[in-house]
Structure 1
Amino acid sequence: MIKSKIWDIARKRLSQHEMEYLQNINFLGDNIYSQVLQFDRILNAGVGLHNINDENSRGRYHIKDREIFRPFQYIEVYLKMDYQQIEWLTREIIHMCGLHLESLIKRLLTLTRMPLGQALTLRLAGLRLDRQLLDDLKVIVKPYNDAKHSLLQPKDSHFFDIQTTILCYAVTRKLSIELLSVVNLYTPEYVWV
């Protein structure tokens, strides 16, 4: 059910070329990282695996923006790990996607200690965010919370499959691009180009 809702967001937010690329990713192959990296390059906007680090694998962001951008560094490391074990990391990748969005929302609404789902119910969120963006963010809350708190999948299985995970990352990137345009950051925009 949640996978279909994330696909709905992807269909609304991704261009036809981006959707085609995403649908053609080989989720069983050993080069998932390079395929996701290429997807980031196709997006050609915002912050992602393609530009989060400098040539020495250090974050390119200002230290005061660490909580916003550090999750992408974790995602990059997780995707580079042994592809045969990638399903063990799907939960963490989705967790980092949600954490990135949560950090952006907290910065936008000047909040410190409030989870994403609760922050999105605030009247201020409705005033500061476009209705469609707000609705799409609310969809991401469910897998984000499941990644943090739920272990209710069948024994010896994984809560998220790799396709859902990469789809969540793609949608996170598109939502992030929109949010980055309205959030005050310490990192200058030219750093990412």
Structure 2
Amino acid sequence: MVEKINLAKIEKNIYSTLFNDGTLDILGGLWLLGLGLSILLADLGFGISEEIMLYTTIPAFVVYFALIFFVTNPRKGVMKLQEKEKRSKTKFLTIQIIWLVAALIAGIYFSLQPVNSGSWNDISVSLFWIAGSIILCSIAAYSLKIDRFYAYGLLIAISFPFRIFIRKIFFVISTSMFFVVAIIILFWGIILLIRFIKNTPKTDTI
């Protein structure tokens, strides 16, 4: 019984260690920043938001993978795992890929929504965004054992409804919540990354 409890604790620690380096936070912050920027530029007449988004959100993924390969992986090392642990690592990667794909699809979908749409469409899109943000971040928080993702879900959920309902009154600042939430997530991710770099020296194997 004690052994099972210890194994569960070890597994939770592995999850937290693998994904608590701030890189996912930075990715989420940059992605939301890019999404907000693409919508803002489209509002200002620089083009269609989904086209602009390709140029504003792709850098988020470039930065993310650069941090993984050049900063965090050299410090995490190459983990020598048994078969059960290998399956767990595969699960980690699968969750990560699903998160990335879902984030990209969500960004494209919501950037396609017209600025001048009917009230029912505004409400339905907002509810979809709220539900999607909370559910996606909650799944990530539960699966990766990172509790702050629950808070991220609530913060991200505010962004799109804020734009929908404030743009009729203050159109200029309708995308501001995207930037506020993005900066909060990005700031926390940078803090975690700096802490990770300071506390984790480079190594070849673990």
Q: TM-score, normalised by structure 2?
A: 0.35
Give the number of the structure whose alpha-carbon radius of gyration is greater.
Answer: 2
Larger relative contact order (Cα-Cα within 8 Å, sequence gap ≥ 6): 2
